[in-house]
Amino acid sequence: MIRTATPADLDAIAALHAEARATYYRGHIPDEAFDGPAERARTRAGWEGAIGRGRVLCAERDGVVVGTAAFGEVDGVMTLSQLHVAPARWRAGVGTELHAACVEAWRRAGVPDARLEVFQENKRAQAFYTHHGWYPDPEEPLTGNHLVLRFTVPGDERGQ
């Protein structure tokens, strides 16, 4: 089930975020930069704010949060800022369901396109996004150590 996150989900989302990030950052950047106490506190505060603004979706299985996605406008552009799935649930359709829910929300809101940044060493995530229609941003392909991808939101086939 995909649903809007609530404040009660904050601990589960923060833990999921930390677990997922460790799989792609470890060995590429210092652990303290993604898993130290200051970073965990910053991340938790970020998730708390996003949940409070209604910008976070959860994938739940058997009462457990197994995936999460956050999105919202940044500088006038819809941005998928986070999409994480518990590593134990990879390749089980959770990410695809979360992605589809994001796209549907954007379509209903009339959003024409979206943007995201993905760590350039995270080849698994890059393959996922490419499979779902994301492509390199022709104007800004790289920001720091992250690739910038774009997505064209499909229109409503009924013409509404």
* Torsion sign over Cα 119, 120, 124, 126: positive
Instruction: Measure CA 42 to chain center.
Output: 17
* Tokens describing residue 117: 């940044």
Q: Which two tokens stand for residue 107?
A: 């379509």
Residue 159: how many CA atoms within 13 Å on its side-chain side?
Answer: 0
Interatomic CA distance for residues 132 and 23, integer angstroms: 21
Q: Is 40 left (phi over 0), alpha (psi -120 to 50) or beta?
A: alpha
Fold of the domain built from segment(s) 2-111: Aminopeptidase (3.40.630)
| Residue 99: per-residue pLDDT | 98
> Tokens representing 90?
């990879």
Length of the chain: 160
pLDDT tens, N- to C-terminus, the chain (160 residues): 999 999 999 999 999 988 888 777 766 766 666 677 888 888 899 999 999 998 899 999 999 999 999 999 999 999 999 999 999 998 899 999 999 999 999 999 999 999 999 999 899 999 999 999 999 999 999 999 999 999 999 985 544 4
pTM: 0.88
Judge contact between 1 and 57, C-beta under 8 A: no
Single-letter amino acid, residue 138: P
